[in-house]
Structure 1
Amino acid sequence: MPVDADTLTRERIPTVIVDGLHIVYRVHGAGSGKGSATSALSRIVSKRRSPSVREVHAVRGVTFTAYKGEAIGLIGSNGSGKSTLLRAIAGLLPAERGAVFTDGQPSLLGVNAALMNDLTGERNVILGGLAMGMSQDEIKSRYQEIVDFSGINEKGDFISLPMRTYSSGMAARLRFSIAAAKSHDVLMIDEALATGDAKFQRRSEERIRELRKEAGTVFLVSHNNKSIRDTCDRVIWLEKGELLMDGPTDEVIKAYEKENKR
């Protein structure tokens, strides 16, 4: 049976599949007393685990599928596993169990656009663009747009100064501006919209909507429920590393706010 063009347009294309994912951090405590280094070497040779190793089960059996064109908010209390989940999707953390499958290259804001404190903002724009796979011509053509979007030159020529002279907010805005200058298969933003004034937040939200139209998938971690409502059409709620709810934005946020009023 032939498939019409409208059906193909409506077809949802998976971009990220998280299948029964478990992430475990292992925190190694310091040895005590004389011979602790010798004891450590003995444990390595004998393959015994250090008694001072503490395991933190940060993500517990999370499963979901993200689709092309979606903007997905991640909510939950501090320590619920939101940032850990993003780092796992970006390929920065190994799975203890389960798996993550992605179609295209995931980009985690603040990693792909890592900035170097001793270099000027101008040099960081160039290096950040190159790190994301942009050509020098692309960076040159978008350079002024990136600077203007960040707003860091609104109170002086900060783009020519070393990054160490920037406030944390200025650095975060420049990171977002660099990352948002390129279309991404999967773009993950961790608390980016919490930085900057209302004007910059509006620009950020508008740019995320543009990225969605350019066929990417966006994940947004934020404690600002208004930003989530304004930006995302779907929300995943995590607590203690477990997925509690996954659904339409208003439905999930209402449940989350009701739970947190108790």
Structure 2
Amino acid sequence: MTDTVLNCKDVGIKFGGLQAVQGLNLKIKKGELLGLIGPNGAGKTTVFNMITGVYEPTEGEILLNGEKINGITPYKIVSKGIARTFQNIRLFGYLSVLDNVKIAMNKDMKYSIVEGMFRTKSYWREEFDVNSRAMEILKLFDLDKYKQYSANTLPYGQQRKLEIARAMATNPTLLLLDEPAAGMNPTETEELMNTIKLIRDNFGITILLIEHDMKLVLGICERLMVLNYGQVLAEGDPQEVINDEKVINAYLGSGGA
């Protein structure tokens, strides 16, 4: 039995003649918080899209808890324990905060269409359980007081938190966060850092994080991997990585952004 949750072996993808990612070897252990950074266009979100089944790698293999998941559809990958957020918030804006979280639990609902139509005891029992669990998650993110608000009426920072809460509602073992601090002010970013730490520490969830806010990255990540032009440029201790001359050049432009 391995403690490696995610293992990407020589993973790559081509779009026509463009090699977007090449030779990616990435391992994440259970409970680890790994930061994936790099200049814009380096291939970070493409990596997320391959892990979550949006894209199928043209090279290599991706293993989740030892099981190959290349080519599996996104909804099946969610069922296997991977959840994600997006660079651009993708909430159901006109639904309530509570319903946004409950929707993510659909994969676990067992009652039939007939039971739903006739509102049987099993229907109400499951609905009660889902509602209770959704409220627990919202309380964790301090969003329970907004449960009846439409998602699109929340402040930007709260919408970001709601998207993470919805991902958590799928009961993941691996959580992928794609620039969760984008657009946040310093106070919201600080609150987000505490929330991510809480998720990892209280639930033991493995987290892979894409982020440009170096204060957040250095504040919570235990290990960093840097991508540039679709290839790994550096990997290791966060402080050592950000002081690596190759990484500095990539970000400042003299070596590649």
RMSD: 3.2
Aligned residue among 44, 49, 54 for 1:82: 44
State whether structure 2 residue 93 is matched by structure 1 residue 93.
no
State whether structure 2 residue 237 is matched by structure 1 residue 251.
no
Aligned residue among 30, 51, 68 for 2:30: 68
Aligned residue among 171, 175, 197 for 1:187: 175
Partner of 2:15: 25
**Residue pairs, 1:14-53, within 5 angstroms:** 14-26=4-16
Q: Indicate if the aligned counterparts of 1:69 and 1:217 stay in contact, CA closer than 8 A.
A: yes
Partner of 1:124: 100
State whether structure 2 residue 220 is matched by structure 1 residue 224.
no
Q: Indicate if the aligned counterparts of 1:22 and 1:96 stay in contact, CA closer than 8 A.
A: yes
Q: Indicate if the aligned counterparts of 1:191 and 1:220 stay in contact, CA closer than 8 A.
A: yes
Return 124-133 or 99-108, whichever deviates more: 124-133
**Residue pairs, 1:113-192, within 5 angstroms:** 115-130=91-106, 136=127, 137-143=129-135, 146=138, 149=141, 159-166=147-154, 169-180=157-168, 184-192=172-180
Residues 241 and 139 of structure 1, relative CA distance in 2, 3 Å threshold: farther
Q: Distance in 1 between matches of 2:50 and 2:198?
A: 25
The aligned amino acid for 1:178 is R
Aligned residues: 219
Structure with larger Rg:
1
Q: TM-score, normalised by structure 2?
A: 0.72
Residues 181 and 118 of structure 1, relative CA distance in 2, 3 Å threshold: closer
Residues 68 and 132 of structure 1, relative CA distance in 2, 3 Å threshold: farther
Question: Helix, strand or coil: the match of 2:40?
Answer: coil
Q: 1:116-139: per-residue Cα shift (whole Å, max 9, x none)?
A: 233233321221344588974254
Q: CA deviation at 1:97?
A: 1.0
Q: Indicate if the aligned counterparts of 2:7 and 2:28 stay in contact, CA closer than 8 A.
A: yes
Residue identity (%): 22
The aligned amino acid for 2:132 is K
Please, which runs of 5 or more residues in structure 2 have no aligned partner?
Answer: 66-79, 111-125
Residues 224 and 202 of structure 1, relative CA distance in 2, 3 Å threshold: same
